[in-house]
Structure formats: structure tokens, C-alpha cells
Structure 1
Amino acid sequence: MEDTTNLSPKADASLYNGQPSDTGLSCPSVGFTSRTPSISDDVRYGVSVENVPAGNKRWFVLRVSYGRIDKAKTFVKAKGMECYVPLQYKEVRKQGKKRILTTPLLPSLIFVHAAAEQVEALLHDNKVMANENSPLLSYFFNHTIHRQDNPDRNPPLIIRDEAMNNFIRLTSIKNPHIIPVTSNNIQFKLGDNVVVTEGEFKGVHGRVARIAGQQRVIVELFDGCLVATAYVPKEAMKKIMIKDIENILL
């Protein structure tokens, strides 16, 4: 864990946001059907990543082998690529002083912003060492569709810029009450699509739900991968239509 005692209320929106350690947990899933348009059209409609124009960057979701988030981040950055590792912040008291410790929010995943051919080259260089059982990085596939050029295979999961910006906006806030959502802590079906209009979560958009007895906004990055804000009062939200989500100024 990283000790960040003197954190300001909000994090720098930089993509390079800390050096977390991997606990090996997978992305939480609550089993709801996605209503957030977060997956890139290039993937949703079965277009192979090989057909993405050269130099056209996308947000790729990559799996990280157990306990190697730090190494994965260093490896990606050494290749000159942008990456994002969301953190979770926990308040603890030690010897009467409040401290904030960080752990990975989604400890088995790293998000890489690059062109398809760059990611392919990254994974090609991602060799299994003699003392390791698996490669450092691998594709996180979109199992909801199949590739047009190979119907027996799924394409890599790619996230829309708009959805990734919203996710980064939420997870770069150093609030210990931002949590990944599981079926155990969500108390009723996800409700209205809203945008937060004031407070530290201003600009974050998602769906309303009650978690741990509090009204919160759920951001769904991709199907089954959800993160909740801290408590948001009703008067700090504005209801929006799904078709208007991508028109929100991020």
C-alpha cells in the first residue's frame, strides 16, 4: 500500500496516478446489462482492431498477471505509451494521525491509450520469463461479440474516450468512499441516468443506486464493471437521457 498522508481532496487528473500493488482480484460484476455507451463502435460492431487507422489511439483494457501491476505500468511507460491505473483510497489512523493508503481499484486491469498496432507490438514484446508462469499483459476480450474477420474469436475490449474520461474523472478524486460495486452492496436496481451538477463529483455521469444506505451514482465502464461515488444528494443531480450522455461536456 502507498501511504499518502497529506493528500489534497482531489487528485491530479494525470494518467500516471500512483504506484499501486496488485491484490489479484478481478473486476467486480453485478450482472446488470449495460446501458452506458462505453464500448467503442470499432469493437461493438465487430470491426477488428487491425482495421483501426494507424495512429488512431483507443483505450484498450489489458489484463495484468497476479501481483504485477507496478511492473506492468513501468513496462507500458517504458514503451512511451499512456496508461491509467485507478486507485482506491482508504483512511486509517496510526498513532493518532490520519493516513490515507492506496490500493488498486481494479487490481487485475490496466488501461492503455494507444493505437491498435502499438498495443499488438506491446503484447508481442511481453514475453514470459524463465521464473514466470504467464505473460505480464494480455488482452481483455469483449465476449459479447465476435470479430468480423474471424467469427470464432472475440475482439479486444476498447473503451470510448467519453466513457474513459468520465471514469478517470471519478476515480482521480481522492475520496475513500468511492468503491467498486458488487451484488452484495447494491440494494436496488440501477435507476435514472444523471449527471452530478455540484460538489467534488461535478460532471460525473452515471446511474442512481442506493449502496450501504446511501444514494450514489454508479459509473459503468463496461458491462459488469461498475464503480460508485460517495453519497450524492438529490439536489446535486440532474436527470439526463441516454442519448444525451455523449453530449455532456467532459
Structure 2
Amino acid sequence: MNALTDADTRRGGKNPPHAGLTSSVSPKAHSDGVSSPNVPIGNGEKPAWFALRVTYGRVEKAAELLRKEKVETFVAQHTISRIINGQKVFFKESLIPNVFFARMTPSHAHFLLEPSAQHLPSYIRFFRNKLLPRQADMMHPPIVISNKEMDNFMKLVSVKSEHIKVVDKEKCRFKTGEEVLVIDGAFKGVRGKVARVSSEQRVVIELTIHWLIATAYIPTAFIKKTD
């Protein structure tokens, strides 16, 4: 957990190093943990986002190892505050503990992360989708996230707000289930569903079927139904 300096609080932290081509992700999203883009694509494969999990406290170290392999990474963080010596101090910490995201082709992902390959430390591994059948290697397939989902997710968490949170589905009271677009305010451009969370109206996005992330309070006037 790192204290934010005055220079960092507006954009959520210093930009990580970049190399090679620029990414299609917006500059604001880059400021919250996106690194350099993927290696060249081969065999007609398209890159996708993989959820990766690590042992406690090693997210930043693991993401740096992937960046050295020219892999685009994203460490989702959110703002929290503490009262220290009578003053409110803001910090950044992982939104989803011990999880970060990396964008690469499936073959490159398996090349780097299959245990038998030993290209990366064993504490970095795929976050696997246990809702799907096991593969030939008797492992569940990795969680793969579309670029559209990740762009929406990164747009949400790029906002400096103490009220962004991961929520349980049981604690969300969805209104209609229809997708909406936030058309004004700090979360402008975020797509999700309107729900009641912590007694407030918020927009909740679904990152695959594994995580629900809620914005801060959103006024009704800032919400538009999508077609």
C-alpha cells in the first residue's frame, strides 16, 4: 500500500515504463497500471487478457516480470484513505487482492505460464475458470477477458474514488438488468447495470462472471439506457 504524493493523486500514480507500440487503451487508463503492449502476434492469434494470480504481496513484482517479457499488464488499484496524525492521507491498494491482468496471445501465455515451461516463478499462475470442464491436462481453462470488458473495467478503476469496490452479487439489488451508459460525471463512458449497493444507486460492471465492480454513487440524470 503506497501513499500518494500531490503529483500522483490526480491520475492514480506514476505511469509505468512503456516500450514499443502504443496501446489502444486511453492514457487515463494507462496511469493505473497498464504497461507496454504485447509482443508481435503470430499464427493468426489475437491477444486477449488473462487473469493471473500470485501469492500474497507479489502482484507488483509479478507484473514487472511480465513487463520484462514485453507483455502488457494491468494492476487494478483503488483509492483508500487513512487518518494519520490528524490528517487524511490517500493510498492506492489492489482492488482485487493478489490478482492482476496480462494481455497476450494464448500461445505466448502458455509458453510463459505453464508450470512445466519454468519461464516464470511458480508463484505466478493462471486464475482458472472452475465453472468450465477440465482440459486434457486435467486443469480448468484460464480465465480470458475480452478487450471490450477490460477497457470498460480500466475506465472505471481509473477514477480516483474511495467508493469503488468489488461487491457480492447477493448484496446488489439490480433494478432492471438492462445495460446503461454513464453519460456524465467522473465515470462517464462506463457501461454496466444500475444497482443498489450500500444503500446508494451505482453502476455495476461484470468482469467475466467472477467479479462485480461498483462505481461510486451515480445520479439518475447521469445514466442512459443503451440500445
Q: Tell me whether the two structures share a fold, i.e. TM-score over 0.5.
A: yes
Change in 2 beyond 3 A, CA 1:86/1:224: same
Partners of 1:121 and 1:209 lie apart in 2 by 40
Q: 1:188 to 1:5 in 2, by over 3 A?
A: same
Question: Are the structure 2 counterparts of residues 72 and 196 from structure 1 closer, same or farther at C-alpha, using a change threshold of 3 Å?
Answer: same
**Equivalent in the alignment of 2:3:** 3
Q: TM-score scaled by structure 2?
A: 0.78
Cα distance in 1, alignment partners of residues 29 and 85 from structure 2: 31
Change (3 A) 1:240 1:71: same
Q: Does residue 98 of structure 2 align to residue 108 of structure 1? A: yes
Partner of 2:64: 74
Match in the other structure for 2:15:
none
220 and 183 in structure 1: CA distance in 2 versus 1, 3 angstrom threshold: closer
- Deviation of residue 162 (structure 1)? 0.5
Q: Quote the RMSD (CA, aligned, Å).
A: 2.5
- Indicate yes or no: 2:209 matched with 1:223: yes
| TM-score, length of structure 1 as denominator length | 0.71
- 1:212 alignment partner AA: S
Q: Which has the higher contact order (CA 8 A, sep 6+)?
A: 1
Cα deviation for residue 109 of structure 1 reads: 1.2
Specify whether residues 15 and 76 from structure 1 end up closer, same or farther in structure 2 by C-alpha distance, changes over 3 A only.
Answer: farther
CA distance in 2, matches of 1:118, 1:232: 40
Counterpart AA for 1:144: L
2:173 counterpart (173, 188, 193): 188
Shift, 1:146, TM fit: 3.6
Residue 159 of structure 2 corresponds to 173
Give the direction of change, closer, same or farther, for the CA distance of 1:95–1:213 in structure 2 (3 Å limit): same
Contact 2:169–2:212 (CA under 8 A) maintained in structure 1:
no
- The C-alpha deviation readout for 1:82-141, integer Å capped at 9, x for no partner, is 10010021122323433211110011211101112221222133555xxxxxx2211122
Identity %: 31
Which runs of no fewer than 5 residues in structure 2 stay unpaired?
A: 13-27, 35-41
More strand by share: 2
Unaligned segments of structure 1, at least 5 residues: 19-51, 129-134, 242-250
| SS of structure 2 residue aligned to 1:154 | coil
| Distance change (3 Å), C-alpha of 1:15 and 1:65 | farther
Name the SS of the counterpart of 1:13 in structure 2.
helix
SS across alignment from 2:30: coil
Superposed, 1:1-250 pairs within 5 Å as: 1-6=1-6, 7-11=8-12, 12-14=28-30, 17=33, 53-54=43-44, 56-123=46-113, 124-126=117-119, 135-146=122-133, 150=136, 153-182=139-168, 186-189=171-174, 191=176, 192-241=178-227
